[in-house]
Each structure stands twice: as structure tokens, then as C-alpha cells.
Amino acid sequence: MSLVVLLLLAGGLSDIAPAQLHSITLPDAAREGARHGAWFDQVNHINPYLYNSEIKASVDQTLQAAGLPSSTLSGTSCPTTQDGNALYNPPYLSSYYPTSLNQPLLFICYKNTPGISLTSAPTDPSLYESEDLNVIVLESFGMVTGFVQTAVGNNIHVAANFHIVIQGFQ
């Protein structure tokens, strides 16, 4: 009888430990991406890292350091929220979470405005100075053991977002 309980505990821990790692790493990655993108070069008067591929590289570096796969940049800049909040904070609609398990999906939302996507650093930094940069990482964490899958389902939605004010002269 105690062997059954011990096996259930061990099986549950094999899901909880990686889930905890993902729930810690995703916010770290979102924070690092936002900090990297918001940095202002005082000497040259530009935000040299304020564009999608540079922010994604910073997010991916943090994810890979924890042994997670690189993110996939979403074609949508700001995911739709369940409660309609204008700051694009969680909760997000289920349709925005990736369908493939354990594959982080990256959203980069500039100025709390959907549709803005930067392919290079802005030439006029005043357009983004003191505006919001929101880096959002979503994941469908896949369960390993059958016991936990029957208790909570095949996956758990994990969301991380980090807002930061884009730096400039002010």
C-alpha cells in the first residue's frame, strides 16, 4: 500500500519540478528581453536594441541557459486578454497559447498598441521614449505522468509578462 503512495508522489514530483522551473524561467526571460529592449544609449541618442529580433535574442538566451527551447516570435504583437484590459496583462485567451507543448511563444507589445512590429531600431527614439514595452512569453507546459494528466489535464498554461518604460532623454 505504501509503495503505491510513494509511486504517486514520485510521479507527481516528476511533473511539479519541471513546471516550477518553467514558471520561474519564463518571467526571467520576459524581464531580460524587456530590459534589453528599453535600454537607451546616451552617447548616440538611440535605443539600439528596441526591435523584435534583438529582444527575442535576449529572451532566448535566458530560456536556453535554463535548458528550455528558444521562443517562437508570434505574428501578433499583443495577445487578446480574457478580461479586455488595455495593458495586455494576463489572463489571455486560450487560443493564444501554443498548441505544441513546452514551446515558448513570444509576444512583443510596443506602446500598448497592437500591430506595431519593429524590424530595426527606431531612427527617432522620441517616438518611443517613456512609452511601454511589454514582453510576453506564453507556454503550454506538457505533463509527463499519466496521474497528473488525469488530475489537471494534458497541459498547464503558463504566462509571463514584463512591462518596462522605454528609456530616453527624460
Amino acid identity for residue 75 in this structure: G
> Closest Cα partner for 25 from 73, 74, 65, 79?
65
With 90 as the cut, is the pLDDT of residue 150 above it?
Answer: no
CA–CA distance, 116 with 3 (Å, rounded to integer): 56
Residue 110 belongs to domain spanning? 2-165
User: pLDDT band at 4, cuts 50/70/90?
Assistant: low
Segment 103-124, tens digit of pLDDT: 999 999 999 999 999 999 999 9
CA–CA distance, 137 with 62 (Å, rounded to integer): 12
Residue 161 lies in a domain: yes
Whether the model clears a pTM of 0.75, i.e. scores above it, the answer is: yes
Angle at 95 between CA 89 and CA 101, to 5 degrees: 100
**Three cell numbers, residue 74:** 508570434
Sign of CA dihedral 110, 115, 121, 126: negative
CA–CA distance, 154 with 16 (Å, rounded to integer): 13
Residue 70 lies in a domain: yes
User: pLDDT band at 149, cuts 50/70/90?
Assistant: low
Residue 170 lies in a domain: no
Total domain count for the chain? 1
Segment 68-100, tens digit of pLDDT: 999 999 988 999 999 999 999 999 999 999 999
Residue 59 lies in a domain: yes
Segment 23-55, tens digit of pLDDT: 899 999 999 999 999 999 989 889 999 999 999
- Say what the pLDDT of residue 27 is: 96
Residue 48 lies in a domain: yes
First-residue to last-residue Cα distance in the chain: 67
CB neighbours of residue 10 within 10 Å: 11
